[in-house]
Structures are given as C-alpha cells and as structure tokens.
Structure 1
Amino acid sequence: MRKTLMAMVTGLVLASVAPLPASAEIHEQTIRFASAGAEGSPLVIGQRKFAEIVKEKSGGKIDVKVFPAGMLGGDLQSVTALQGGLLQMSVMNAGLMASLAPDFAILDLPFLFESTKEADAVMDGEVGKTFAKELDDKNLVVLAYWELGFRNLTNSRRPVEKVDDIEGLKIRVVQSPIYLEMFQVLGANAVPMPFPEVYTALETGTVDGQENPAPSILTAKLNEVQKYITLTRHTYNPMVLLFSKPLWEKLDQEEKDLLQAAASEAAAFQRQLSRDADQKAVDALAASGMTVTKLPPEEIARFREKTKPVADKFAASANPELVKALNETIEKVRAAN
C-alpha cells in the first residue's frame, strides 16, 4: 500500500524525490512552516518529516522551523501572512481556500468521496492542477496535497445514532460556508471557529460538539471534553501545502526544485501516516471512554439525502468543467474497483 501511494503522488508534483546535492545556488535560510494541527498529529508529524527531508537535501543549509497548534495564528491569518510575504509556508484544509478561489468548495461536498483512492486520483490529477493554478493568481504556490482524512462527529450530550439526533446540537464547524449549511440542514446550530479555540469552547459548553478526523480528535485531546463519537465520514479533507508566492519568486531554481521534491516525498509519507493512524485513533478514543457509534448503510443514505441540496447548490456554483472532471475521475476509480 505504501509503495502504491508513493507511486501515485505525481500529477501536480513532477520533480524527482532523489536527494539533491547542496550547491552555491542553495543559500542558508530559515523557513517558518505553520499549521493549526496539534503536536503529535499526522499533520504535524508530516511537517517535521518535511523539515528533515529539506535539511538532508540542502546539506543543512535550509532550516525549516515548524510552528504547530496555531502558534503563528489561525489558518485564515496564515493565508494573509503567506500572501503578504510575512510567512513562508503553511498547510491547511483545502476547503478553506474557497474564500479565495470558490471552486475549492466542491472538495468539501458532503459524502463526495467514498475512499482515499478516489481522493488521491482527484488531487494528484488534472483537478488538483487546476486548483493549484487558481491559487497561483492569489499569491500562493501549491507544493503538494496532504490529507486530514475523513471527518466524524462528536458531542457531549447524546449518542448520534440517526440523522434526527443532531437536531439542536451546537456544533463547531470549519470557517467555510459549506460546513455551516451542511450542519444547519442536518438540524444543528453550526458555529464557525478556528481549530485552536475548539477545546476550550467544548470544555466551557460554548458548543456541544465538533467534527474532525479521529486522529485529530485524539491528538487534540478532545475526548477529554467529548463523550460521543459517530463515524459519519461525511467529508474527506485534502490539505493544501502552500508557499508564499512573493517569497517563492525570490528563490533560486535549485532551491525551488529541492523544496518541491521534499514536498512530494513528504506528501506520500504524511498521507500513509494519516491512514494508518485513523483506525488506531478510533480504537484509542473508545479505550479512553468515548462511546463509538458506527452508522449502518441505510442511515448513511439518509445523511446523504438530507445534505444533497447543499451538495447540489455548491456544485452548481463551481466551474462546470471542473465539476465534470472531478466526477469523471471518481467514477473511473469506482469502476476499476
């Protein structure tokens, strides 16, 4: 599986992942690499892996310093800093890019992906390249796509065993319109909030619940303030690895090639790490005392049907050619299985 995934991470990232010799064109420099991920999460471990690869490839000339857990601000603040050349790198939920390039919203369509194979085919193919081009116009360079994984619902009030159980729950969601509308149509009171603020909001009862992949829930210790988790897998989150375009353009070509190659190598590592961690995290959350609910296929179908108007609305507002390419890519993978 790991070898297969390594082979798949092409498309957007075409540079060789072989070590590049340090030369006069690679200057001594420090790169600040920020994220909202919790220490110990697959996301932050991926950041540290990237830093190791860059150090090795540059002969120690390029020092990548990792700033997790929103240390340099939330995701939206990081985007502004990247665009202004105040921060070199960040990695975040690709759906958050919809505020800059609206087409990104289609990646957050509820129940769009059924497997990671489908997601990889989309993000590493022509669709992923198109998304990258849209951000290039926004002063952002896409180096690769990582993953957060499939999102699941937690709360502190009651088990969610059917879609009607969500009615009236205050649920923290990603700062994106599609998440707001998705959970509102499910009957929740959706509250947008940066991830670093979530633990305190749950602890104080400002919100009843939230939704994230199991490894993120575990590493952020949300199980300390949440009793119930339902494996809804309602959305799959690719993560976009970004570099500030103003700062990227100041790099020599060899430096760009080195960073691109490191991003490709780290992408394969990070995705596999995330996938290996998913079931382990669910088991660990159950062992910690959380009540785990797995929905039967007929209830997942009810979730999909109830959120279909939201999916249709956001798909209709996106580039039709891009939506067509995305759907065709997914169908091709499903037909091959």
Structure 2
Amino acid sequence: MNMMTRAFGSMAFAAVAALTASAVQAEEFRLGLITPPPHIWTKAAEAFGAELAEASDGAHSVTVFPARQLGNEAEMLQQLQTGALDMAFMTVAEVSNRAPDFGAFYAPFLAQDIEHAGRILRSDTARGMLEQLPAEVGVVGVAYGMAGLRQIVARGEVNSADDLAGLKLRITPFDPILDFYNAIGAAPTPMPLPAVYDALANGQVDAIDMDAELIWVLKYFEQADTVVQSNHMMFPMVGLVSGRVWAQMSDEDRKLIGDLMAKHVDSTIDSYVEKEQGWLDQVRGAGTNYVEVDQAFFGDAVAEWNAIWAEKSSKLDALRQVADDTAE
C-alpha cells in the first residue's frame, strides 16, 4: 500500500533498534485487543493472521486474544513495551495517555462525518505522527483504523446538554474524552466494555458514550430512554507491534508483517464508512427516543475542550488544517 510505504519510509526505526531484543525471534505472534469476537477490529485481526500465515507459507502465525483476555489496554501496552506481547490493535485513546499529541484526534467535531474521519486518518499528517511512537512509547505503529463516531445513550430524557449535567456517564478512560464531559458538567465514569450493559441496566451509570456498532450489536439501546446521535468525536484505532519484537525481525519480515497488518487495520475504515448509517437507522427504528444534535447542542464545552488541548497537543492545529483541507 502506498500509505504504508510512506509511513514506514519515514519512521524512526533507529529508536526501535536501540531497544533490547529477545534472543529468539518470535514466529507465533500474540495479538491482543479489547473488542469482543464479533467486532470489526477483532475480525480484521483474525483476517490479518490468516493472510500472514498464508503469505509466509506457515512460517508465521498469529493468535488473536479478544475481549481483554490479556488485560486492559494500559496493561497490554505495558506488555508491548516489554516484549511480552507481540502486537495489538489498540485505541489511539490509550496511546494518547503516553503520547499526548495523539489526543488531538479527539477534537470535538473535527470530522464532519464518518467518511471525513477516514480521510483525516489517511492523511500524511496523521501518518507522520506515527513516527513518534518508537521513541516515546516503545512500539511501532503501522496504520490507523477506526470505530464509528461517538454517540450518547441515556437512561433518561435528554433534550439539551444541561440534561447530561451530573449524570454518571460511562467513558473510555483517557484525558480527551474526560475533559470533554467535564466541560459539559457530567460525571464521566471509566468502565470496561464488558461491564457496560449491566451497568446501564441497573443504573450504575446513567448514560454512556459509545459508537453506533456497539449501541446496536450489543443492544445498549434496550436499556435506554434516549439515543443522542451527536457524532461529536471520532475514535481512531492503531495497529501496533512491540518495539522489542520489531527490532529482532528481518527487513523482509518487517515489510511483510507491516504491509499486511496495515492492510487489515486500514480496512476497518472502509467497514465503518459502509455500515455506520445502517446501524444508526436500526437503532432509530427500534423505538427508543432518538435525537439528532449538532455542535451547538454542547454549548461552550467544545470551545473549552479546544482551549485545554491547544496546550496539551502540538498537533491540534495541524489536524484542524487537514480537516479543513479534506472537508467536502
């Protein structure tokens, strides 16, 4: 893929090579993710493993561990850093906890729609940001994927952002989304994905921040009174290889593994572009109160987030320029 050729051509491999490599080259790779088996990310990981085994004539295999079997993302990132885990498909959210520049991807309303989000992630600016990862995080990023745009599912009636004030609202635990819901006045509540359905059902949380796929597939709307289609934030994913594992690979294996992983990670963008509206339509038709809002719904919260992250990420202006250049 041309995008991978450019990304790998400029990546800081010297920083990776400086990491200590284990004595034996891994050929049976382990790949972790937090998503459940039916999820698009998990299916892409399995497809990557199958194609790698075929392309390497069985020399390499990938065992996929979905649904947090190897721990949460913070734990898996630590395993990548030590070489205990070979690969992961991971939210850019977790990466942003270690490399704050990546928090810029979560600028509210950076993307106009799901197609626009894909164009931002495929831009030269976005790919260039992967160069930071070997030195700053100890991993190699091969390409971006994504989940759908973020929506809000609430147990009560929601007619304005004021109705979210004080609500316990489930979030993915990372600073950009925490800052956004703090600005709204909600009570953001980190919670692992497997616990969300029951927590919403029993009132442990009042609302959740979620993408359309999981709202529909995992039936979160069944425990809600209101679904707010806000499209307020994109949610990128990145394919990662442990820096220690990468350092011990031959150039040939780096190219093979890098290209194939990038192909399948990138394919998730096309999957969400194709399917996002269908999930939203099915949720809308399920009978739950369905509200469509735009940026004005959130009042001053967007400007407050922008002010905070202008100080935290050096890439915010660059990604805004990309968003302007790729808007339709």
Q: TM over 0.5, yes or no?
A: yes
Query: C-alpha deviations, 1:208-262, integer Å up to 9, x for none?
Result: 1111110122233323433421111110011011111111112222111111111
* Offset of residue 83 of structure 1: 0.8
User: Which AA in structure 2 matches 1:79?
Assistant: L
Q: Is the 8 A contact 2:309 2:316 kept in 1?
A: no
Instruction: Work out whether 1:45 is the aligned partner of 2:43.
Output: yes
Unmatched 5+ stretches in structure 2: 11-24
User: Which AA in structure 1 matches 2:191?
Assistant: M
- 1:268–1:101: structure 2 CA closer, same or farther, 3 Å change rule? closer
Q: Is the 8 A contact 1:12 1:125 kept in 2?
A: no
Distance 1:173 1:105 in 2: 15
Q: Is the 8 A contact 2:147 2:268 kept in 1?
A: no
What does 1:27-38 correspond to in 2, within 5 Å?
29-38=27-36
Distance 1:196 1:76 in 2: 16
* Offset of residue 301 of structure 1: 2.1
Query: C-alpha deviations, 1:130-163, integer Å up to 9, x for none?
Result: 42122111211101101112010001222x2322
Indicate which of 303, 309, 320 corresponds to 1:308: 303
Query: C-alpha deviations, 1:59-87, integer Å up to 9, x for none?
Result: 22222111111121111111111111111
What does 1:198-209 correspond to in 2, within 5 Å?
198-209=196-207
Indicate which of 61, 82, 89 corresponds to 1:84: 82
What is the match of residue 176 of structure 1?
Answer: 174
- 1:28–1:105: structure 2 CA closer, same or farther, 3 Å change rule? closer
Distance 2:299 2:87 in 1: 35
User: Which AA in structure 2 matches 1:303?
Assistant: F
What is the match of residue 321 of structure 2?
Answer: 328
What is the match of residue 149 of structure 2?
Answer: 150
Distance 1:293 1:279 in 2: 15
Indicate which of 201, 213, 227 corresponds to 1:229: 227
User: Which AA in structure 1 matches 2:296?
Assistant: A
Between the two proteins, what is the percent identity of the paired residues? 25
Instruction: Work out whether 1:96 is the aligned partner of 2:94.
Output: yes
Distance 1:271 1:10 in 2: 18
Distance 2:50 2:265 in 1: 13
* Offset of residue 28 of structure 1: 8.0
User: Which AA in structure 2 matches 1:200?
Assistant: D
Q: Is the 8 A contact 2:35 2:42 kept in 1?
A: yes
Distance 2:267 2:121 in 1: 16
Distance 1:328 1:124 in 2: 14
Q: Is the 8 A contact 1:172 1:192 kept in 2?
A: yes
TM-score scaled by length of structure 1 = 0.85
Distance 2:129 2:2 in 1: 21
Stretch moving more, 108-117 or 42-51: 108-117
Indicate which of 98, 104, 119 corresponds to 1:106: 104
- 1:283–1:120: structure 2 CA closer, same or farther, 3 Å change rule? closer
Q: Is the 8 A contact 2:95 2:102 kept in 1?
A: yes
Q: Is the 8 A contact 1:54 1:63 kept in 2?
A: yes
- 1:7–1:85: structure 2 CA closer, same or farther, 3 Å change rule? closer
What is the match of residue 279 of structure 2?
Answer: 281
* Offset of residue 42 of structure 1: 1.6
What is the match of residue 58 of structure 1?
Answer: 56
Unmatched 5+ stretches in structure 1: 1-5, 16-26
User: Which AA in structure 1 matches 2:67?
Assistant: A
Distance 2:26 2:5 in 1: 28
Task: Provide the alpha-carbon RMSD of the alignment.
Answer: 2.4
User: Which AA in structure 2 matches 1:183?
Assistant: Y
TM-score scaled by length of structure 2 = 0.87
What is the match of residue 19 of structure 2?
Answer: none
Distance 1:49 1:234 in 2: 30
What is the match of residue 291 of structure 1?
Answer: 289
- 1:315–1:186: structure 2 CA closer, same or farther, 3 Å change rule? same
